[in-house]
Amino acid sequence: MGQFLKYVFASMLGFLLVCVLLLVLLIGTIAAVSTSFGDKPTTIKDGSVLHLRLDQAIVDRGEKSDFNLDFGPFRGASNIGLDHLLEDLDKAARDKRIKGVFLELTMLNAGSASAQEIRKKLLEFREKSGKPIVAYSEFYTQGTYFLASAADAVYVVPEGDLDFRGLRAELMFFKGMFEKIGVDVQFVKGSNNKYKSFGESYTEKEMTPANEEQLGALIHGIWDEYLGAISATRSIDKARLNTIADSLLIRHAPDAVTYGLVDGVKYRDEVLDLIKEKMGLDTDEDIAFTTLAEYRKSSVKGDDVITGTSAAKNKVAVVYASGGISSGEGDGESIGSETLSAAIREAREDSSVKAIVLRVNSPGGSGLASDVIWREVELAKQTKPVVVSMGDVAASGGYYIACAANKIYADPNTITGSIGVFGIIPNFQELLNDNLGITTDGVKTNHYADLLDVSRPMRPEERELIQTYVDKFYDTFRSRVAAGRKMTEAQVDSVGRGRVWTGTDAKRIGLVDELGGLEDAITAAAELAGLENYRTQGYPEQEDMLHELMKQMNTGARSWVQEEVFGTDAALLKQFEALRSAREVKGIQARMPFEITVY
């Protein structure tokens, strides 16, 4: 009886603790929402400094409501919209109350192309406004230093460091693990898709020569862009920069000063004193910093008459396509064929929309869903100009939905191309039969009724049949690109075959038209439509406050659990999620083989 009561009391205590935790989370959430929505527009003091940390995930499109869940397991769940950041830096350049920017960097959670767009805007801020940017960090990663190098002055803590040693691409291969548990991943790619390597992570133990060739070209291209950007602002020859990295000459903070990558070693209080001096602020008072979130809620007098604001009647629609591509509905983190098609169609049918910009940031996904979206882009192009802006990645299915546009922009470090297709069919026979003792049996009405049965290996005629499906879809993909890019199918095939390219190389081989970011694409769309005074409108319609709140809570809690439970193995979990995502997509797939992150 005593043991029974002990379990009862333990259960009651656990239930009570859960209730208390939920109550605390609810109160915190209400407080966060109240803070975000109850405030009036931010009042910016004269002599303020825009304080940029950029330590949250940077996504193409910012949330409609701009609230942050910054507590407990939800810390870091909110993100920074690249569109908002670019707009606010433009606004700060015009704002006489803002005397400069303090770029205080820790980590940068953004892709290479997004980082390029931010860096370009920082340089534009300096040029247009004449206001200084001061960068400071305890430790610069290669990613954060890339942004910092756009500043007028760069400082690091005396005992800090600057990581400058080049790039390395590393892939994870699971064939050995699958062999141990008795799973055979059957990968069927286009007959001529030499570089289509998505499935190789599950079917090989190391890179194939073709994959090593394309991945080597990618990271060398990104590194060359990286060195070129730093060389231009720090006045250090690219060859010299490469030598510094190759020999690991920066091993302590003072070394970064010696070799010209930073301007001095200083503690934060010393940097703040220097900011006051550079920006003409009162040395006896604290600096009036304004964060990005605060500045977002402010306005600049006279902005209502500036081209591109809400005063204009004509519109350029910016349709955001971010995430993997699948059939059905999507959201801000995934592309659903129904949702994105409806958004493009809505922009096409709106008479006040004179041009459309499709912002693509996608590694691809379902071939069928990609084709459905392509059709809507093709229809839209028949009524008004359509310009594509490629983000960090617009590859495979991401390129498929872009190729019909009138004009394509990509950042130099955008990863694009990957014109190829594949199918994945796992075989669990050994796992089920030999390792788990599970057998399967069944009856069927027709010979191919058990096609794609995962409890056995494919029969030769089944593999031949699936190969036919894959090759046919590749032919369709190739023809779509040829028509959109005004190339022959042979020309597309010569740059296709599943190979990925940087934006710079993609322009050279004709897969994109111009190098530039989202703002360049919007300007080009407006010019094609003959617009001088216009405003932008984002599509699809963003979710309401409650949906955004629940999404942020879910994303934050999931990230916290992954970090706490899996730690450094979270990358492994991500790979399994990618395989599951690929396996769950019905039909042929057009998906990029890997991700590249610059740390």
Q: Flag whether 369 is in a domain.
A: yes
Q: Are residues 380 and 281 in the same domain?
A: no
pLDDT of residue 189: 79
Q: Flag whether 18 is in a domain.
A: no
Q: Flag whether 116 is in a domain.
A: yes
Domain total in the chain: 2
Opening angle at CA 247, ends 501 and 235, nearest 5: 70
Q: Are residues 467 and 538 in the same domain?
A: yes
pLDDT of residue 307: 42
List the one residue out of 337, 433, 332, 344 whose CA is nearest residue 380.
344
Beta strands in 272-371 (DSSP E): 288-291, 315-322, 325-326, 335-336, 353-362, 364-366
Q: Are residues 292 and 403 in the same domain?
A: no
Boundary (domain end) residue, out of 270, 303, 336: 303
List the one residue out of 415, 422, 155 whose CA is nearest residue 268.
155
Phi-psi region of 12 (alpha: psi -120 to 50; beta: other; left: phi over 0): alpha
Q: How many CA atoms lie within 13 A of 74 on its CB side?
A: 18
CA distance 288 to 50: 9
Rounded to 10 degrees, what is the CA torsion of 527, 529, 530, 533?
A: -80
CATH number of the domain residue 369 falls in: 3.90.226.10
Q: Are residues 129 and 265 in the same domain?
A: yes
Which residues are known catalytic residues?
196, 396
Give yes or no for a contact between 468 and 475, defined as CB atoms under 8 angstroms apart. Answer: no
pLDDT of residue 598: 54
CA distance 453 to 300: 62
pLDDT of residue 71: 47
Residue corresponding to tokens 């409609």: 64
The parts of the chain modelled with pLDDT lower than 70 are 1-40, 65-77, 302-311, 543-599
Give yes or no for a contact between 540 and 340, defined as CB atoms under 8 angstroms apart. Answer: yes
| Beta strand 364-366 pairing with 589-591 | antiparallel
Reduce the DSSP state of residue 561 to 3 states and report it: helix
State the burial class of residue 405 (Cβ atoms within 10 Å of its Cβ: 0-12, 13-18, 19+): buried
Q: Alpha carbon of 256 to those of 139, 332, 415, 546: distances in Å?
A: 11, 40, 30, 47
Domain that holds residue 551: 307-424+454-591
Q: Are residues 264 and 409 in the same domain?
A: no
CA distance 334 to 398: 12
pLDDT of residue 178: 86
Q: What are phi and psi of 502, to 5 degrees?
A: -75, 165
Q: Flag whether 30 is in a domain.
A: no
Q: Are residues 143 and 282 in the same domain?
A: yes
Residue corresponding to tokens 């990925």: 500
Q: Flag whether 431 is in a domain.
A: no
pLDDT of residue 25: 54
pLDDT of residue 301: 76
Distance of CA 279 to the CA centre of its chain: 34
Q: Are residues 349 and 272 in the same domain?
A: no
Q: What is the DSSP string of 235-254?
A: T--HHHHHHHHHTT---SHH
pLDDT of residue 19: 54
pLDDT of residue 156: 97
- Terminus-to-terminus CA distance in the chain, angstroms? 59
